[in-house]
Amino acid sequence: MPGHEFFTALTVAEALRGFRPGRRSAVEIVPLDAALHRVPAAPVTTPAPLPGFARATVDGFAVRAADTFGVSEGLPGYLDVIGAVRMGATPTTGVRPGTAVAIPTGGALPPGADAVVMVEYTQEAMPGTIEVVRPAAPGDGLVRADEDVPAGAELVPAGRPLRAQDLGLLAAAGVRELAVHARPAVAIISTGDEVVPATTTALRPGQVRDATAVALAGLVADAGGAPDPRGIVPDDAGLLDEALRAAMKTCDLAVVSAGSSVGARDETAGVVAGLGPPGIFCHGLAIRPGKPTLLAECDGVPVIGLPGNPLSALVVFRLVGVPVLRRIGGCLRPPPEPRTRARLARQVPSAAGRLDVVQVRLDDGVAEPIFGHSALLSVLAAADGYVLVPEAATGLAAGAEVEVVLYQ
Ligand SMILES: Nc1nc2c(c(=O)[nH]1)N[C@H]1C(S)=C(S)[C@@H](COP(=O)(O)OP(=O)(O)OC[C@H]3O[C@@H](n4cnc5c(N)ncnc54)[C@H](O)[C@@H]3O)O[C@H]1N2
Ligand code: MOO
């Protein structure tokens, strides 16, 4: 019977290294205010140096630094104030030896000046004349015309999702739109005769609401993808084949939940094997939970078969699906996941040779493992994060310092 062979389990690291579908989502132009978290398809270089003119970084007086050399509280220097810089305007009055021009923070440095003395280091000696009591070196109290971004410099790299500060820098440089990867379209197909839409009010005995699809859609959206939930397919090879082929016409990644194990009704592997070359990359990962996972690429579309247990499906998609999805979306530098260090409240057993993903609750620097079968979705909902027990380890000792990857 198809699907009854034993898994040939790869480690998660081997799978991530080896399964590298070449598919990339299309490139589209978006306006800057719609570009948060989008992935630039090419580096964006500055059209001009920034800030573009030398500007004061303090409120004070634009001066020639040489005029202040050697001054002190006891021996102030005297300068004639011959004008004031207006914000947003080109300064008209230049600074000559023995003179100063009043300037606000951010004002354009007048010609002739090479430093700005803070107002706190001056006082009015008489109307139109200031005493300067601290010397200024050239460059003090200002930023140069290209100090923020030199001519031709890169504002944002390709492949790193845009953060709020990136948008700010692009805005400062006058970039109004940019080329980004389209959000990869991720078809989400649930399977199982017992699975009914999540909107079902009254369940018949043996039925379960589709818990996986909406949760996967959340993970997809969090990772920059566009979820395309395509409903529930019964345990029928022909219908799954039809659903997958229809999805593959438009999606960048197809995800099937359940049916990836070795039971009589587990059709996913057989169907995926017939979808087109190169076909199945691996069936079975050395991970708990999540062993019955299938990775394939069929006619240019990556296909991921996830375990039926919703907890397992979500764990595997986070660890294996998200990196694949990000790469399809052109993301070369994924944002680092938030992590924290904690002490393990109790011992965690684990078999050598597989990666264990242990859900934990965090309390004041202590990570409390939440034990429970992977059929129990509440375990995942109760968790603040997870701890990985590497393949080589046979468990973690109580009190061990562990790294917790946090759910946001
Ligand atoms: N003889 C073996 N049996 C099982 C193995 C094994 O290695 N040998 N592995 C177990 C593990 S681990 C898992 S996980 C499951 C995965 O099996 P499938 O991927 O074939 O999934 P199903 O059997 O169809 O479903 C498992 C479980 O999850 C429920 N389910 C499925 N889809 C949904 C959904 N969208 N929303 C909510 N719940 C869902 C389904 O009703 C089942 O209870 O196999 C073990 N068995
Ligand atoms: O590994 Mo299954 O994926 O434990 O529930």
Q: Which of 309, 355, 377 to mutate to test the pocket of ligand 1 (most atoms within 8 A of CB)?
A: 309
pLDDT surpassing 80 at residue 262 = no
Q: Please choose, from the candidates 56, 36, 50, the residue with its C-alpha nearest in 3D space to the C-alpha of residue 105.
A: 56
Cα–Cα distance for residue pair 54/51, rounded to 1 Å: 7
Q: What is the CATH number of the domain that holds 241?
A: 3.40.980.10
pLDDT reported for residue 233? 97
What was the pLDDT predicted at 3? Answer: 42
Q: Which of 261, 272, 288, 380 to mutate to test the pocket of ligand 1 (most atoms within 8 A of CB)?
A: 261
Q: What is the mean pLDDT of residues 226-250?
A: 97
> Within this chain, do residues 312 and 223 fall inside the same structural domain, yes or no?
yes
ipTM topping 0.90: yes
Nearest to 44 by CA among 159, 131, 122, 125: 159
195 lies in the same domain as 302: yes
Note whether 120 and 199 are same-domain residues.
no
Q: Please give the average per-residue pLDDT across 33-52, as a whole number.
A: 98
Q: What is the DSSP letter of 6?
A: P
Residue 386 and residue 401 in one domain: yes
Residue 375: predicted pLDDT: 87
> What pLDDT, in 10s, does the model give residues 112-158?
999 999 999 999 999 999 999 999 999 999 999 999 999 999 999 99
Q: Is 5 a domain residue?
A: no
My answer on whether 302 and 224 are in the same domain is: yes
Task: Single out the residue in 293, 328, 363 at which a domain terminates.
Answer: 328
Looking at the 3D structure of the chain, how many domains does it have? 4
Helix (H, G, I), strand (E, B) or coil at 405: strand
* 199 lies in the same domain as 300: yes
Give the distance from CA 35 to its chain's centroid.
Answer: 13
Q: Which atom of ligand 1 is nearest to the CA of 235?
A: 24
Q: What is the pTM of this model?
A: 0.92
Domain range for 376 is: 339-406
Could you list the beta-strand ranges (E) of 105-258. 115-118, 122-126, 129-132, 142-143, 154-156, 177-181, 185-191, 195-196, 208-209, 226-233, 253-257
Percent of the chain at pLDDT > 90 equals 94
Out of 181, 197, 230, pick the residue that ends a domain. Answer: 181
